[in-house]
């Protein structure tokens, strides 16, 4: 069995509002995609960020006001 991120694999959607303006937050993708040219090709377990294992950190942003935040999503087994 394999563990995957439900956000990265389109199995779930973000449903959060911007704390600054109330706009709908947009998923900007997994944080490791922003770390270097080969980071999207590395195993998700390679990035820990000090969080418990089996989580994927995503960048969320508000297109209305530019606010951004990070959210940790638990991986699921398929």
Decide: pTM greater than 0.85. no
Q: What's the confidence (pLDDT) of residue 64?
A: 97
- pLDDT bin (cut points 50, 70, 90) of residue 45 is low
Residue 9 has pLDDT above 60, yes or no: yes
From 74, 1, 23, select the one nearest 44 (Cα to Cα).
74
Average pLDDT over residues 62-78: 94
**Cα(54)–Cα(37) distance, integer angstroms:** 23
SS3 63: coil
Boundaries of every domain in the chain: 3-77
Q: How confident is the prediction for the chain on average, in pLDDT?
A: 84
């Amino acid at each position: 069995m394999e563990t995957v991120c439900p956000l990265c694999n389109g199995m779930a959607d973000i449903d959060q509002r911007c704390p600054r303006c109330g706009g709908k937050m947009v998923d900007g993708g997994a944080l490791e995609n922003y770390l270097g040219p080969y980071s999207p090709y590395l195993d998700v377990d390679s990035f820990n960020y000090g969080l418990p294992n089996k989580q994927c950190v995503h960048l969320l942003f508000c297109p209305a006001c530019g606010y951004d935040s990070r959210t940790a999503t638990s991986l699921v087994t398929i």
